[in-house]
Structure 1
Amino acid sequence: MSIDLIPASLEQDIDVIARRYRKAGGMGIQVLNLVGGHAENLMERLPDPVKDHLEEATLKALKVASAAATRSREIVADQSTWLNTATATAMGAAGGAGGLPTALAELPVTTTVLLRAIQGIAAEYGFDPSESKIQAECLQVFAAAGPLAADDGADMGFLSARITLSGTTVQSIIARIAPRLSAALGQKLAAQAVPIIGAVAGAATNYAYTSYYQEMAHVHFGLMRAGSRHGVHRDQLVLRLSDAVKSL
């Protein structure tokens, strides 16, 4: 279908998705106001050994999260958005209370909660998170980095990035997105690095991250469902969504 022939019902879907995208972009400003300082300076607070191994830690966290989130669906039902956010916020506070050591230990747990929440949203849109292709799509949501690394939500790059999912393993996608995600998670760790104060920062950053990624999951799977329903290629939807976001 030509982008000029998109029906009114699809335009309405795109408008809803655009508002979610804009809402997600605002989460970064919220968290920066809560923890103080500027995102670009947070990474300087981390010790050099932590910065040097951050990508490796992110890669490990994603691998653990991917396996754990998928297995947990067989045991625990999907939770509501507010409960996912509350859980992650509490974990962020606990992780930040002990400074950097506990923040590092909390990282894979929080990543699992985030990925599980993303899988739940995928199911909400009619996709099966037990399928390897949908697991890959869930991981692809993380390509949006995070609220501390985002600007005003205008960057549509993560949506238009092309990956061939057929024959592509989950592990290769994890390796692909880990470098970008590590920068965002490094800023989160830096905000939690000071004990006690880190508890407040950890709660604030986890609140922002969980809210951000859940909104991004709605955007991602909303586009997938809209494209499937109306027979429109994702690239065309991204272009129209980009215009819609700019017009808000």
Structure 2
Amino acid sequence: MASAAREPGREQARMVRFGHARWDRAGRRLTVRGEAVKLSWKTAECLNLLVEARGEVVPKEELLREVWGAGLVEESNLAQCISVLRKALDPAPDGGSHIGTAARVGYRLAVDVEEEAAAPLVVAEVGGVKRGRYPRIVWVLGCVALLTVMAGGGEAYRRMERRERAAELLERARGMMRRSTLTEAEKAPGLIQEAIELVPGYAPAQAAFAEASARLGKTTFEASVELAR
């Protein structure tokens, strides 16, 4: 993926600004003109890839691969995400769009991206020695609490991502089962198994697996053995 060069030893700022928007890299949260905008995780990932590219074109193939994975995905899904972002962000300060299109190639952020510097630590001089305004223990406890919240939020985000991916696989499998060709139908159980591996105990996928096995003429015992592999 195209990305801006970073200075050696310099960490990325968590918050960035572009156009009328403010983007939280870690939390995947977008604010436009001071108001929070809720995005689906796929739309948020698309935006983050564009932000990190800093104006360079991100190919459609790369966006599809990074956000939707290696499976077959309709390009219309990407176009829908870009449309949602434009509706949330536009118009840009110059009256145009925040997101530009490179015909038949990909998309890019059409406004400058600026990193938002973290607030400096306020220090006070006591007895000739500079000390932080708050006791060290308060600072340490605050960091621990923040890391705990971020870790929990990250795990919840990953669970949601796995569940959405499982739902997509299940929908593709159902589409294959609706088709008349045996070759297409035989691919469905593999996709359903992948969905179950992503979300163990996913009841809709288990039911679909049993249905697919029945349509392919497998016995209940054979289907159970295959599902357990």
TM-score w.r.t. structure 1 length?
0.27
User: By percentage of residues, which structure has more strand?
Assistant: 2
Structure ID, larger Rg: 2
User: By percentage of residues, which structure has more helix?
Assistant: 1
Q: Which structure exhibits the higher relative contact order, with contacts defined as CA atoms closer than 8 Å and separated by 6 or more residues?
A: 1
